[in-house]
Structure 1
Amino acid sequence: MKKIILFFSLLAVLIVSSGCLNEVVGQKITVQKRTGEENFFEDFKEVNQKKQVEKAIAIVKNANWENAKVEMARYADYQFQFPFKNSSENKIASYLLWISPNGENLEIVMDSFKYAKLTKQDSANLYKILTGEELIK
């Protein structure tokens, strides 16, 4: 009887822990940095800490998005992607990111038809998450 109880206890722990792992899988942001003056990006960083990923997603989601086709004067400084669930589909959200000329704000373009300029605070927080560095030097 003790063996059966032990078996079901271990089985329950395994089922619960595998369910938790499934929620964590895909919770990452991949960041790429532009190299040189061309529109080429190289892998720069991967953000895996759940709180940082959630904070970055919240910043991007709550940004003041405008429906506008934008053409920037230069290529993006960074691009980043993260998976998100929309209905029952898993998709990858991809963004291009520019540091504004004054160095205080970030500007983001998604799908070439959505544009957002982040507040100074959101810019600083998102930049710190994506690069590990302070925005204003």
Structure 2
Amino acid sequence: MKKMILFFSLLGVLLFTSGCLNEMIGQKITVQKRTGEENIFEDFKEVTQRKQVKKAIGIVKNANWENEKVEVASYADYQFQFPFKNSSEDKIASYSLWVSQNGENIEIRSDSSRYVKLTKQDSADLYEILTGEELVK
């Protein structure tokens, strides 16, 4: 009887653990940085810490997006991608990121041509998550 209880307890722990691991798989943000003056990007960083990924996705998702195409005079400073669920589909969301000239805000354009200029606080938080550096130097 004790062996049976031990077996089912162990089985329950294993099933719970595998469910948690499956939830965490794919939860990462891939960041690319522009090199030089051209529109060429190289892999820069992967954000895999679950808390940071969740916070970054929250900032992007809750931003006040505008549904207009905005022309930007320069190439993006960074590009980043993360997976998201849209109803029953898994997709990759891609964004281009510019640091404003005053260095206090970041501007983002989505792959579907939506645009947002983040608040100073959201800009600082997202920039630190994506680059590991402070926004204002």
TM bucket normalised to smaller: over 0.9
Q: Deviations over 1:73-94 (max 9, x none)?
A: 1100000011011111111110
Determine if the alignment matches structure 1 residue 120 to structure 2 residue 120: yes
Structure 1: gaps spanning 5 or more residues: none
In structure 1, the residue matched to 2:129 is 129
In structure 1, the residue matched to 2:22 is 22
Post-superposition offset of 1:129:
0.5
In structure 1, the residue matched to 2:92 is 92
Structure 1 residues 42 and 131, CA, compared in 2 at 3 Å: closer, same or farther?
same
CA contact (8 A) 2:104 2:123 kept: yes
Q: How does 1:1-137 map to 2 (within 5 A)?
A: 1-137=1-137
Post-superposition offset of 1:64:
1.1
CA contact (8 A) 1:96 1:108 kept: yes
TM-score by length of 2: 0.96
CA contact (8 A) 2:93 2:111 kept: no
Equivalent-residue separation in structure 2 for 1:4 and 1:51 (angstroms):
37
Q: Identity of aligned pairs, percent?
A: 80
CA contact (8 A) 1:30 1:81 kept: yes
Equivalent-residue separation in structure 2 for 1:26 and 1:52 (angstroms):
14
The list of structure 1 runs, each at least 4 consecutive aligned residues, that deviate by more than 4 angstroms after superposition, is none
CA contact (8 A) 1:70 1:112 kept: no
CA contact (8 A) 1:99 1:106 kept: yes
> 2:18 is matched by which residue type in structure 1?
S
Equivalent-residue separation in structure 2 for 1:3 and 1:123 (angstroms):
55
Equivalent-residue separation in structure 1 for 2:120 and 2:6 (angstroms):
55
Structure 2: gaps spanning 5 or more residues: none
Post-superposition offset of 1:112:
4.9
CA contact (8 A) 1:68 1:115 kept: yes
Superposition RMSD on alpha carbons, in Å?
Answer: 0.9
> 2:85 is matched by which residue type in structure 1?
K
Q: Paired residues, what number?
A: 137
